[in-house]
Amino acid sequence: MRDDGSVRTVADPATLRDLIGSTKPVAVAKQMPRLDEHCRRFIALSPFLCVGTMGPDGRADVSPRGDPPGFVKVLDDRTLVIPDRPGNRRVDTMTNLLANSPVALLFLVPGVDETLRANGRAAITRDPEILEDMAVGGHVPTLGITVEIDEVFFHCGKALMRAHLWDPGRHIERTQFPSMGRLLRDQTRSDAPVEAMEQYVEDGYRNELY
């Protein structure tokens, strides 16, 4: 930080590369244009991924997706489908995809430090032949996100190892951070009692997962 309080930034690729150094050859060589058996197996074990998109105004967005392991359906070595489950109805991700098809995915498997990254082009599907196979508890998703993969590769586990993400001994006591009901009450400036907001959240979690 400078004396005037401004933050020093990196503004061009050459400076960035000078500071970081050259790319390791294996980091380039591991990138693939399609899913192999290891990617398929990882996706089959994954109960959680993050979806990155960009809106028509250039604003970026990342949204979590979670379900039982294997909830993402692999149609072939270049195509997969992510079911859309009930949420807050903001539809940020799908609204973005209507404007910009590029999408970035990050798959996680609990207990594995490495992650799987996939980049491609997405579209929204309402094909019943695809979606009926993705039902949970008899609830068929109304929509899904199909992704045509352009590149896929495994990301090293350093970030998760630094975070000790899967170490139960590093998990916080839940009382160290406010509940969702408290957060909603504070951030929406609601006059409702905290107990009412807690019940609102609990009802959604209990009745609207699928």
pLDDT (tens digit per residue) in 10-57:
999 999 999 999 999 999 999 999 999 999 999 999 999 999 999 999
**Based on the domain organization, do 145 and 179 belong to the same domain?**
no
Judge if 144 and 176 occupy the same domain. no
pLDDT digit string, tens, across residues 151-186: 999 999 999 999 999 999 999 999 999 999 999 999
Number of folded domains in the chain? 2
Assigned domain for 17 exists: no
Question: What are the DSSP E strand ranges found in the chain?
Answer: 48-54, 60-66, 73-76, 79-83, 102-108, 115-125, 144-155
Q: Around Cβ 19, how many Cβ atoms within 10 Å? A: 8
Q: What is the pTM of this model?
A: 0.92
**168 vs 172: CA distance, rounded Å:** 9
Residues 46 and 129 in one domain: yes
Residue 11 lies inside a defined structural domain of this protein: no
The sign of the torsion formed by the CA atoms of 158, 159, 160, 165 equals: positive
User: Does a structural domain hold residue 117?
Assistant: yes
Domain that residue 71 falls in: 29-163
